[in-house]
Structure 1
Amino acid sequence: MAQMAENEKAFFRDVEQTAREADTTRALDNAQRIGAISTSLGGSILTEPPAQYQIRFPVTTVTMRQNTIFTGRDPDIATIHQILDPSQRSPSLSPLCVVVHGLGGQGKSQLALEYSYRHRQSYDGIFWLSSETENALEVSFAEIARKVRRAENGGREGRTTSPEGELASDIEYARDWLEGTNRRWLLLFDNLEDADLVDKFFPVNLAGHGSIIVTTQKAHMSQLTNDFKKIPLSPLTSDSGSNLLFKVLERAPKGNLEEITTHEISTWVGGLPLALVTLGGYMKVSESSPTELFESLKRSSNSWVSSGEGSIRNYDKTLATVFDIALGELSENARHLVDILAYLNPDHVSEELLTFPHSLPTLNFLNDKDEFLDMRRDLGLRQLVRRETLPAGSHLAIHRSLQMNILHGLKNDKDPEKRQRIFQEVFSIIEAVLPEPSQLAQNKKDTWPKYRLYVPQVISLRQNSQWPDPPLVLNFQFARMLANTGTYLWHTGRYKDCDATMTMAETIMRAQDARFQSTPEWEELLSDIYLVIDILADCIGVSKRKQSLDHRQELMRLRQKELDAISVDNRTTDDLLRWAKAKADLACAYMQRGRYSEAKEIMDELLVWFGKWTSEVELPYEYSKYYSYSAYILMAEGKVDESIESARKGLILETTHAGGEDETVLSNQYCLSSLLFNAGKVDEALALHMDTLQKRIELCGEDSQLTLESYEAVGIILHLQGRDTEAEHHFKKCLANRSRANWTFEGIARAQFWHSKVLEKIGNPEAAEKELKAARAVKQQYLELYQEFLVDDADNEAAVFDQMLPMWSMATTGPLARGGANRNVVN
């Protein structure tokens, strides 16, 4: 251990000295020449090198200082050391070699540098070799000889060759030393793109311990030594990416919003360290907040051509430079394919989608199997595209930062129509595989599986049509695709994606020609868009409450106009139900505002109409909605048993309609669970909530807002029962996934409020105070923004958080908290 500590100190001394050597070598050479002259004259001037120029092992040619903002990658560093650690293996004839490969800007060099610092005590010599060109490699390899000679000769170079032969002689000396020494050494070949370059540098027939790290963009690097391991470098997690941004900014996050936004930025650029450092430097120089940067980033690509130089050490390339090199030599068709991929989901594009029979002649090249195979191979070898094979089929992926670079390039292409043309091609590819959904915005078993497959592509196309500025010109057909997609997103609890998708659909509709806006086709689609926007508003909370009622009233006007245009004799059941659905949703908007009596009038009227049109057996979905809405009205009126009976009937009918359990059935089950809690049937409510949670995890995934709401509901009930250790588990799960789920600020704030109470109970007051502070910050902001809907209650703080959320988010206070549930709320 003492030797390892001494090695560590020596390493730092040597780094400092190596960084100064460009200036000091001349001084040393002059001193030695003067010493030689003095000796010949019989003098004794400078017969020994000065103490500051004397070198001892361990030595290094690493000149870069340790990266103080290096973040994450601990598992990768541990894996490398597990393979290379010289203290855990015997000497071998061949050095151990680890190849770290990944896209440009992924942080390969920084990983190698960090490893050299963290494990400096394990080696007697660490040598950094710039490997982009043969000349750079020769010069840096020769430095090994100079460093070793001085270490072994007390600081003297001990050269015996002429300056003309120095380079070749030093390379030979360095290789001989590496092969013959019993010291432990590490070679770092940085940015090696041509494996043939290293043949004359790789030591063989070793006497001691040799280790090698190679960083490269080549995933298919040929085997360089007998002991050869490859490590693909993955993107940073959103947590690590967020931490990296704040390290660049040299400060901590200022509240929840900044933390969430930096997670979103990290995800936006695919966790690429070079991208994050560049954007962090851009933020720092422009004095922008993360929110301002993210909004700018979603609109513009200016930061894409900015360099990190001047703000952060070791990052001196622009993002455009990194990728333009890789894209430069692609075939015309391969470049066309990667342009198409740039508009799609970067993580997963099924080959089946790309090779589906296409109607546009410009896409015929995708249906040529041999050509597609050549393109895929070409892009894979350059690490521009990654291919993965799953049981469901093969798919392609590209890095998010590469995607953005391509989109930036399309904006500035010399052909001004190219960007719009590629968009239309991608729209055509997706449109060909998406079925038409239900006109009644219902979950249809025969259409949702297709949407589940291809909605990520629609979301990407939506986002990438707007970035960078100026946004593309979008048509009515794309608005329809977005409206259909938004319906699916609402059913699956992806509320923020749904909100953005439907808002954009409405914007496109409003931008259509004025004459077209007076047509029934335009009004019908706009009313469909309003329908989902308003249902969504009911799921988000107070921030959408005013919009919800305004839109519902406009939707009712449009649906009434639509119905009036059809003669009574020609009206179909679907025509009548579209009108009735708008009426029922208006009642829901009243309930969200606590206007239960007005909602009751509408629902009673609808029940009469339903009885005239059809039966529960023929139309279980609409009757299910009636019973579910009525259950909340009954609970608000204090009719507890009738409320529970109505909710149970709604759940049975929706299960009948769906033919089994789906997202809509689970929403009904969640509502029944919450009403059981309000009725004081807490044990039954907990059991049903836990069942709903498990099924939502399986059906919707851990990062669905629906799943997080179930985690929170279970956590609240467990806390109120005094089972705080179990409650802590559920709150940690839901809050850990809040960024990925795009959970609303209202939902996060209430979860943090209840989590703070759990933390206090289990003896963690500091964490409790932090959570409560974050929750109160949102509460205070919302009290100021939405005064007409929120009333602060000094005696029961939980009431404000309940008011912020939709009525069906398991209220613990207020008119729905009947049967004693509100007595359990602790302040």
Structure 2
Amino acid sequence: MPAARRHVGATGSRTVTISFAGFNRAWAAWIGDRLERRGMRVVFQRWDPPVQTPLEENLQDLMLAPGRILVLLSDWYFQLGPRSHEEWNRALREVVAAEPDRFAAVSVTTSPLPAATAVLAAADLTNVGADEAERRLLSRLDLPDDPLTEPVDGRPGPRYPADTPEVWGGVPRRNTRFTGRESLLNSAYHALQEAGSGAGVVTLYGMSGVGKTQLAAEYVYRFGSEYDVVWWVSAEKRVTYRQKLAELAPALGLSTGAEYGERLRAVRDALRRGEPYQRWLLVLDGADEPEHIWDLVPTGPGHVLITSRNPEWSEHNSNLLEVPVYDREESVAFIRRRAPRLTHNEADQLAVALEDLPLLLDQTAGWLNDSDMSVDEYIELLEGGIDSDVVKVSADFPLAFQTAWSILLNKLRETVPESVDLLRLCTFFAPGSVPVRLLKEMPPGVMPESLSGLMNDPLLWNKAIAQLRQYSVVRLESHESLADEASTSGESLYLHRMVHQIVRKDMPERDRGEFIEVVRRALAGAEPGRPTDTRLWPRYAEITPHLKYADVLGSEDPAVHTLVLNCLRYMYLSGEYRAGIKLGERAMNAWRELLGDTHPRIWDLSYHYANLLRAVGDYAGTEAIERAAVEHLRTERGPEDLEHLRAAGGLAADLRGLGRYDEALELSGWILSAYRELLGDQDSRTVNAQNNLATSMRLLGRYAESLELNRITLEARRQLLRPRHGWTLYSEINYATDLRLLGRYSEAESLQAQSVRVHRLTMGRDNPQTLRAEHNLALCQYRMGERARAEELFTRVLERSERVLGEGDPLTMMFAASQCCFAREHGDIDQARDISARVVGGYTDMLGESHPYVAGSRSNHALILRNVGDREQAHLLVEEALADMTRAVGENHPWTLGCAINASALRNLVGEPERAAELTDATIGRATEALGRTHPLTLSSRIAHAADLRALRERQRADKIETEALGDLAATLGAQHVHTVSARSRNRPYWDFEPQMV
């Protein structure tokens, strides 16, 4: 808010200083705008007196402000300090009463204020519309209430604080029985207001039933007038959250297609940019699993309010506010609103028995109000069979809560017994949103007889749901696809986590086995069967949270086994690595016990589980898994068995990850030959084997051979699969990477740019494969000299990868390696040094001292040390890197040749020009043999050798080699290419190690 703005009107130049608490900033802005448009000069003075200064002095200092002082009276104005009412009364009598003409006031609260505020003769602005509030304001300041004219600059004024925001959606109806929570509401407001741009995130967390959702709703109604957009989304599951957030797109007026992924991207971008609205509030309700959605929390100038049971939101840049149970007086007041027939003492008794938990108070008081049971009788039922000591269940709820729910379940059973069956059936889905439509979609004859009546009779179904809703057991969640929004059948029910826990525990054992089998069949029937199809990922995202609660790992049904395997495949392809690893580990233990160590399903599971572990860099662990599978399957089925070949392919990938490239190449070549003989060239498994062999060739520096094999693979996948299939897009990355590594930068950039656009549309911006595509595009742009575009993309990719995958993920490490190389030459050298040190340490911890990635990252780090002036340490480190790389991959590998170029530069710097020239001379020969005379790495070695000869004063030889190299550079890359220009300026070339995916 500006300190002062000046407008001159017909009444002349006058000044008003508005003194307000930060809590009432919206009122101050609106009042100031009304006055400025009538020619007043307005000065805004935020009132926040220091505690150590007497209140009288603070008021006297306020009188130093120009013009008349308009005080915005609210309980918050007097709470700042904090000060007692007695202090305020004394100060008001001494300072304000002596200068009545200097002060005026308006009141924006109905709370009791210090008695001496009467001296201010405040105009009451509460509970009136904008026009009447403006009239009262002007009357209090003795200003005419002439019609307001629009300003010359067309600037829209602040909204009247009591008005509804421009965009409003999904917000629950206001709870007229809301009680207390004043300090929490104020703390949430200040935490959001004081947060910087992009950091305004507050999480209201606490155990289930404490009223987090109600608190968030009350926040919206109290402070919603300060926002242009208020949008409420359910965030229990990632897929639901994505869909609900995407629905904001049309409300914001964004032009998008019907596909909700496109809408979601548009919404997040609009919120980030603050266009068309900067003042937005997004409420994420029930976000109990931050690891599933934290990467989708929007950033930008607005605010995010989260409700959650999980305090781990603090790990994701959120300010935590714990929501405790009610204070006793709050409990009593709430109970008496919910159950008017109860007296104060009865309400107090009930609050004690229920330990002030709001959800319990709401449900039990509502039930008591409709019954004639006394509170004493009810409490006796609650306490029956319970010792005097309070016993807590795992979630820290009293055992009395379970007893209370037993009473409620008995009541449901007496009225509509089918409602209890439905409720129990729902507990074998995950708590939160229960997709009951999956039950109704099951084919006839699959449902047990005890439940078929409920599922097949719409009247009975609606009656059961209505009974559950009546007692706040479930909440109906309708979907856009429903033609009749008023229908009670719904597609999903919301089941609170506490209710879920208690009902499931209370279930008779005879029902448990029957009900769980129904849910398993429902989930297996809903599984799309194509985890590689990105269009079906939202359906997998909906299914996977329920696997645990349906105990699918305990089933012997082959269809359920397929469900588990396909969900693991989806988790791998979509980048949900950590969740997939947890499921895979539990599945390995469960299926070995259930099926035996050598059951065919174990080998299927091993393949998917190893893929997930490999994705996070656990190559030693995956090698052990895959080698055991390979040895068993070879012995039992023979070397050309398809299951054995698949396991061998996984083992080859492990060998690549471990840096054992020659072994991986040999194994990959044999696998491809076996597939071709068994299945032919056009089978997808043969094509996949081609892809893997090309990867082995690239890691050995055989870029031309890798390019040709990837070209064949890409063409085959475009024919066999759709052009936007994930594997087709993967081949485009590989082909573009080979083009770039061969120095064909323009071709690589053109293909990769197009592929990035398709990746974003089909796989999502934060999918690991999309990130890899964008990273390769950034490298292409960098090699072409488009440094500004490359810098932006490098930074964005690394930030997103750290957020989505974590700093220690192999992809993140790869992106960080590129970022520190770029920052070394064109950015912040200190940042480059910090990132590089993390990369070296990360690769050492993950892969061990002898891995080529460790040697390569040390070579990169040596160049950074050189740039900061630590030449001796840089020289030692680069020589160590050269030796280690030579041992790891051989002296003719491009990585070794690159290390040699860097080492020669450092030898020159430390006074060893002869050894430098000797090294670059040998490097030219090896590079020419391995890569060709005009490959960028060969050209760099030739330019470096010319520099070394010049250092030895062999100018004639140096000039000859340099001239020839410059000619080849111009012919290959172009006369104005950055590499050519740099070489022409005699800037010594360096080489950046670039880790590759395995």
Same fold (TM over 0.5): yes
Residues 649 and 671, structure 2, Cα contact 8 Å, conserved in 1 = yes
Q: 1:694/1:17 Cα in 2 relative to 1: closer, same or farther (>3 Å)?
A: closer
SS in 2 for 1:425: helix
User: Which residue of structure 2 aligns with residue 387 of structure 1?
Assistant: 478
Q: 1:502/1:692 Cα in 2 relative to 1: closer, same or farther (>3 Å)?
A: farther
Residues 555 and 582, structure 1, Cα contact 8 Å, conserved in 2 = yes
User: Which residue of structure 1 aligns with residue 604 of structure 2?
Assistant: 528
User: Which residue of structure 2 aligns with residue 626 of structure 1?
Assistant: 689
User: Which residue of structure 2 aligns with residue 360 of structure 1?
Assistant: 447
User: Which residue of structure 2 aligns with residue 825 of structure 1?
Assistant: 992
User: Which residue of structure 2 aligns with residue 74 of structure 1?
Assistant: none
Displacement after TM superposition at 1:505 (Å):
2.0
Q: 1:651/1:24 Cα in 2 relative to 1: closer, same or farther (>3 Å)?
A: closer
1:605 aligns to 2:670 (yes or no): yes
1:589 aligns to 2:654 (yes or no): yes
Residues 590 and 599, structure 1, Cα contact 8 Å, conserved in 2 = yes
SS in 1 for 2:480: strand
Equivalent-residue separation in structure 2 for 1:639 and 1:495 (angstroms): 31
1:505 aligns to 2:594 (yes or no): no
Deviations 1:12-34, CA, capped at 9 Å, x for gaps: 77436579999969x99xx9xxx
Displacement after TM superposition at 1:349 (Å):
3.8
User: Which residue of structure 2 aligns with residue 455 of structure 1?
Assistant: 540
Match of 2:291 among 234, 239, 264: 264
Residues 672 and 693, structure 2, Cα contact 8 Å, conserved in 1 = no
User: Which residue of structure 2 aligns with residue 101 of structure 1?
Assistant: 172
Equivalent-residue separation in structure 1 for 2:76 and 2:773 (angstroms): 54
Equivalent-residue separation in structure 1 for 2:797 and 2:356 (angstroms): 39
Q: 1:654/1:190 Cα in 2 relative to 1: closer, same or farther (>3 Å)?
A: closer
Q: 1:590/1:714 Cα in 2 relative to 1: closer, same or farther (>3 Å)?
A: same
User: Which residue of structure 1 aligns with residue 729 of structure 2?
Assistant: 666
User: Which residue of structure 2 aligns with residue 425 of structure 1?
Assistant: 518
Task: In structure 1, give the amino acid aligned to 2:610.
Answer: D
SS in 1 for 2:859: coil
SS in 2 for 1:5: strand
Q: 1:102/1:748 Cα in 2 relative to 1: closer, same or farther (>3 Å)?
A: farther
Deviations 1:758-786, CA, capped at 9 Å, x for gaps: 567776778x46xx646744652552354
Match of 1:58 among 97, 107, 114: 107
Task: In structure 2, give the amino acid aligned to 1:484.
Answer: N
Task: In structure 2, give the amino acid aligned to 1:602.
Answer: L
Deviations 1:529-587, CA, capped at 9 Å, x for gaps: 1122233444433xx110121111111123224425xxx9xxxxxx8322222233323
Deviations 1:249-301, CA, capped at 9 Å, x for gaps: xxxxxxxxxxxx9952875999996854x754xx89xxxx959x9xxxxxxxx
Q: 1:262/1:752 Cα in 2 relative to 1: closer, same or farther (>3 Å)?
A: farther
Deviations 1:402-426, CA, capped at 9 Å, x for gaps: 6433443346537577777654432
Which runs of no fewer than 5 residues in structure 1 stay unpaired? 32-45, 65-80, 121-188, 194-211, 217-228, 240-260, 294-302, 569-574
Residues 669 and 688, structure 1, Cα contact 8 Å, conserved in 2 = yes
Q: 1:234/1:699 Cα in 2 relative to 1: closer, same or farther (>3 Å)?
A: closer
Deviations 1:638-673, CA, capped at 9 Å, x for gaps: 543222111111222233332544111212222222
Which range moves more in the overlay, 788-797 or 319-328?
A: 319-328
User: Which residue of structure 2 aligns with residue 487 of structure 1?
Assistant: 569
Equivalent-residue separation in structure 1 for 2:469 and 2:896 (angstroms): 59
Displacement after TM superposition at 1:489 (Å):
3.4
Q: 1:465/1:787 Cα in 2 relative to 1: closer, same or farther (>3 Å)?
A: farther
The TM-score with structure 1 as length reference comes to 0.58
Which range moves more in the overlay, 370-379 or 15-24?
A: 15-24
Residues 686 and 717, structure 1, Cα contact 8 Å, conserved in 2 = yes
Deviations 1:451-507, CA, capped at 9 Å, x for gaps: 6353224320235468xxxx9966665554212321243345544443333333212
Equivalent-residue separation in structure 2 for 1:506 and 1:388 (angstroms): 37
Residues 673 and 688, structure 1, Cα contact 8 Å, conserved in 2 = yes
Residues 673 and 686, structure 1, Cα contact 8 Å, conserved in 2 = yes
Count how many residue pairs are aligned between Structure 1 and Structure 2.
609
Equivalent-residue separation in structure 1 for 2:296 and 2:425 (angstroms): 18
| 1:234-383 aligned within 5 A | 234=233, 263-264=290-291, 267=294, 275-276=307-308, 279-280=310-311, 307=324, 321=360, 343-344=429-430, 349=435, 351=437, 354-357=440-443, 359-361=446-448, 362-364=450-452, 365-373=454-462
Equivalent-residue separation in structure 2 for 1:781 and 1:657 (angstroms): 39
Residues 102 and 232, structure 1, Cα contact 8 Å, conserved in 2 = no
User: Which residue of structure 2 aligns with residue 678 of structure 1?
Assistant: 741
Deviations 1:106-139, CA, capped at 9 Å, x for gaps: 999889758998999xxxxxxxxxxxxxxxxxxx
Task: In structure 2, give the amino acid aligned to 1:408.
Answer: Q
SS in 2 for 1:796: helix
Residues 720 and 825, structure 1, Cα contact 8 Å, conserved in 2 = no
Equivalent-residue separation in structure 2 for 1:557 and 1:454 (angstroms): 36
User: Which residue of structure 2 aligns with residue 746 of structure 1?
Assistant: 810
User: Which residue of structure 2 aligns with residue 616 of structure 1?
Assistant: 681
Q: 1:700/1:63 Cα in 2 relative to 1: closer, same or farther (>3 Å)?
A: farther
Equivalent-residue separation in structure 1 for 2:174 and 2:557 (angstroms): 38
| 1:534-549 aligned within 5 A | 534-541=610-617, 544-549=618-623
Residues 731 and 751, structure 1, Cα contact 8 Å, conserved in 2 = yes
1:6 aligns to 2:19 (yes or no): yes
Which range moves more in the overlay, 634-643 or 327-336?
A: 327-336
Q: 1:712/1:335 Cα in 2 relative to 1: closer, same or farther (>3 Å)?
A: farther
Task: In structure 1, give the amino acid aligned to 2:745.
Answer: V
Equivalent-residue separation in structure 2 for 1:337 and 1:815 (angstroms): 69
| 1:704-743 aligned within 5 A | 704-735=767-798, 737-738=800-801, 741-742=804-805
SS in 2 for 1:389: coil
User: Which residue of structure 2 aligns with residue 517 of structure 1?
Assistant: 596
Q: 1:15/1:815 Cα in 2 relative to 1: closer, same or farther (>3 Å)?
A: same
Residues 275 and 319, structure 1, Cα contact 8 Å, conserved in 2 = no
The TM-score with structure 2 as length reference comes to 0.49
Q: Percent identity?
A: 13
Equivalent-residue separation in structure 2 for 1:270 and 1:398 (angstroms): 24
Displacement after TM superposition at 1:527 (Å):
0.4
Equivalent-residue separation in structure 1 for 2:418 and 2:897 (angstroms): 63
Equivalent-residue separation in structure 2 for 1:666 and 1:106 (angstroms): 55
User: Which residue of structure 2 aligns with residue 198 of structure 1?
Assistant: none
User: Which residue of structure 1 aligns with residue 262 of structure 2?
Assistant: none
Q: 1:624/1:84 Cα in 2 relative to 1: closer, same or farther (>3 Å)?
A: farther
Q: 1:616/1:398 Cα in 2 relative to 1: closer, same or farther (>3 Å)?
A: same
1:554 aligns to 2:628 (yes or no): yes
Equivalent-residue separation in structure 2 for 1:490 and 1:215 (angstroms): 42
Give the root-mean-square deviation of aligned CA atoms.
6.0
Displacement after TM superposition at 1:694 (Å):
1.7
Equivalent-residue separation in structure 2 for 1:548 and 1:775 (angstroms): 27
SS in 2 for 1:680: coil
